[in-house]
């Protein structure tokens, strides 16, 4: 694994955390991994 850091608006972090909670995630890291994978899958064939 490789560690990254990012600066995000607080509102975006709160919204992301809420979506994670609604979808049963217990880990922000796992949610970010899944979100990045989904983004890549949606955009790699464009």
- Write out pLDDT tens, residues 6-22: 999 999 999 999 999 99
Confidence class for position 34, pLDDT limits 50, 70, 90: very high
Q: Is there a domain that residue 24 lies in?
A: yes
Q: Is there a domain that residue 4 lies in?
A: no
Is the model's pLDDT at 46 over the cut of 90? no
Q: Is there a domain that residue 1 lies in?
A: no
Find the domain containing 27 and state its range.
Answer: 10-43
Please tell me whether the overall predicted TM-score, pTM, comes out greater than 0.85 for this model: no
Record the tokens describing residue 3, joined without a space. 């560690």
Domain count, the chain: 1
String of DSSP letters for 5-34: -----HHHHHHHHHHHHHTT-S-HHHHHHH
The pLDDT value recorded for residue 26 is: 96
Angle between helices 10-22 and 28-43 (to 10 degrees): 90
């Amino acid at each position: 694994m490789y560690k990254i850091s990012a600066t995000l608006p607080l509102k975006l972090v709160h919204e992301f955390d809420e979506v994670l909670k609604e979808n049963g995630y217990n880990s922000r890291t796992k949610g970010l991994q899944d979100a990045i994978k989904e983004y890549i899958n949606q955009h790699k064939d464009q």
